[in-house]
Structure 1
Amino acid sequence: MNNKCNLIRDILPLYVEDMVSTDTREFVSEHLEHCEACRAELEHMRKPADIIPNTDIVPLRRIKKELFIKRLQTVFLTAILACAIVTVIFGILTSPKFFSYSDDLFNVDSGADGSITIAFDNKVTGYSCMKEFNDETKTEIYQINAWTTTWDIYSSNRGKQNMVIPFDRETNVQIYYAQNDGSEDVLIYGINDNAYQDTVTLPRQIFLPYFMLAFLVLAILAVLRFLLKNKQAIIVWIDRSLLFPISYMAAHLCTKGISFTSYSSKRDFCIIVLVAMLFYFAMLTGISLYKAKKRTSQKNFED
């Protein structure tokens, strides 16, 4: 290999990239026509280079994936907490405020077809009715109440509330108004036969047994966790199960406070369960984020 070949080979990288002048290109091309070794070097340069995989990409991808999962969990936690707060506020704002009996609260009229119409005052935004039947006296007994809510007072207009009881020739009708404040129910339609005299509609104590059951389950799981603290596979499931009673009790305290009675038990129970589910997933996600952050901090400390 002479000095001219050395010069050509120094120029070949620029020649391949078309970064030489016209005179230089002609000079290199003329030499390549007569030099087999330089032509072989040119062909070698024009071949695609073998890409050596960078082993550093694997841990970078893992870190990127972990960061994405952490970001997704954070968004999920924020969304769940927001939903839980909105549900609690909604439950408080729509909690019924029952009206005590008054003469201007409603009007009771009998229609030409024998039906009974109860027209509530405009301040009433909701009512409920329970029906019983007395076989001895062949009497249909209705217990009604009326309420409004903070939400309805400030942001809703449901219109005038009316209730119609159809006529039945074979039965008598008694209608009582349940005040839901510890006072006696008031007979507003029908003949007083003293069967339901001095009756008081009491709130249901439905939530106290559920709260005590959740507390009992929490205590049992806590004892099991202490006894099985060396069995990590079981501890994981116990920790997840512990969140169920904690979520329920927290949801109850957020929606009902320390009260365990309710005149609208079905509604209140549904709201408590919904909030409890949101709290459970929020705590589960929060614990996962805390453990991931703890592992990262420990790894950084070891490095």
Structure 2
Amino acid sequence: MNRECNIVKDIISLYVEDMVSRDTRTFIEEHLEHCPECRSELEHIRKPVELVTDMSAAPINDLKKKLFVRRVQTVLFTTALVLAIAVSVFAIMTAPRFFPYSRSLVQVTEGQNGVLTITFDNSVTGYGYTVRGDKERGTEIYCINAWDTVWDKHITDRGQQNIVITPTSNADIAVYYAQNNGSEDVLIYGLNMDDNAGTVTLPRLILIQYFGMAMLALTILIMARFLFRRREKVKIWLNRIIPFPIAYILAHICTKGISFYSYSAQRDFSIIVLVAILLYCVMLAGGSLYKAKKERKS
């Protein structure tokens, strides 16, 4: 390879792209006529480049899978959030508002064979009662209450409410009205049983126990999260568990506010748990969506 070949090889790519002057072109073409090596170099440059295309569908399938998972998470997040709000609003609107006793609120009528009909005022949309008996003393004691709700008052019409009590024996019957406002139960029918005189029906405080358990669980989980912050597998599971006590606390606040008293504890607890499960789903789905968005930005 002589000096002239070196010069031609340095500028032959410009020659191919027609980026040289006329004199330079003439010089290169004259050199190519008697130099096989440079002609070979020219043919190599002019040879089309074959692009190797990766026809594997794996990247596309992975992308489709990620988009599908993200779509499912978005649907789950939206659905759970809407349901949590709807259940919370429904719980507030259907929360019983208990009536204090008045003569016009409830009437007791005695029929044949000792059958009692308890009729409520039209403002009453719901009622409940419990019964206990003392076989040795031959007594049956009924304790009733009555309420309305925002839902019943503005949306539904349940009509007049009444209770029919059929005694199971020849026992003496007493019917008390529980006011559920801190006042004494009122005897509205029958004999005044000494053991029930002056009774005050109090709300249950069981909700504060569950709230306290949720707070305690949250504290323990946060401490465990700090202690095991360098153990990736444990940290992942703790990150999945921690939102549930948070969801329960938020569910209690959404449905009961900061009150822990309840005259219908079973109903209130069931609604709180339902809302907590929905909020837990919201947190998990929302966390996954936030993490995916953060990864895209990075």
TM-score (norm 2): 0.79
Moved more, 134-143 or 282-291: 134-143
Pairwise CA distance, 1:57:
4.9
* Within-5 A mapping of 1:203-242: 203-242=203-242
| SS state at 1:195 partner | helix
Residue 175 (1) aligns with residue 210 (2): no
CA distance in 2, matches of 1:294, 1:56: 28
Pairwise CA distance, 1:224:
0.9
Corresponding position of 2:184: 184
Corresponding position of 1:197: 197
Pairwise CA distance, 1:138:
2.0
Q: Following TM superposition, where does structure 1 have runs of at least 4 consecutive aligned residues deviating by more than 3 angstroms? A: 52-58
Corresponding position of 1:130: 130
| SS state at 1:82 partner | helix
Corresponding position of 2:148: 148
Pairwise CA distance, 1:68:
2.7
Pairwise CA distance, 1:169:
3.7
| SS state at 2:78 partner | helix
| SS state at 1:129 partner | strand
CA distance in 2, matches of 1:171, 1:113: 12
Residue 91 (1) aligns with residue 69 (2): no
Which one-letter code corresponds to 2:285 in the other structure? Answer: T
Pairwise CA distance, 1:136:
4.4
Consecutive unaligned residues of structure 1, counting only runs of 5 or more, are 1-51, 299-303
CA distance in 1, matches of 2:211, 2:135: 38
| SS state at 1:113 partner | helix
Which one-letter code corresponds to 1:182 in the other structure? Answer: G
Consecutive unaligned residues of structure 2, counting only runs of 5 or more, are 1-51
| SS state at 1:246 partner | helix
TM-score (norm 1): 0.78
What is the total number of aligned residue pairs between the two structures?
247
Native 8 Å contact 2:76 2:281 kept in 1 = no
CA distance in 2, matches of 1:166, 1:55: 82
Which one-letter code corresponds to 1:162 in the other structure? Answer: N
CA distance in 2, matches of 1:167, 1:182: 29
| SS state at 2:89 partner | helix
Which one-letter code corresponds to 1:138 in the other structure? Answer: G
Alpha-carbon deviations, 1:184-240, whole Å to 9, x = none?
100001111332111110000011111111111111111111111111001111111
Alpha-carbon deviations, 1:136-160, whole Å to 9, x = none?
4221111100001000000101121
Distance 1:169-1:233 versus aligned 2 partners, 3 A rule:
closer
CA distance in 2, matches of 1:193, 1:118: 20
| SS state at 1:175 partner | strand
CA distance in 2, matches of 1:180, 1:160: 21
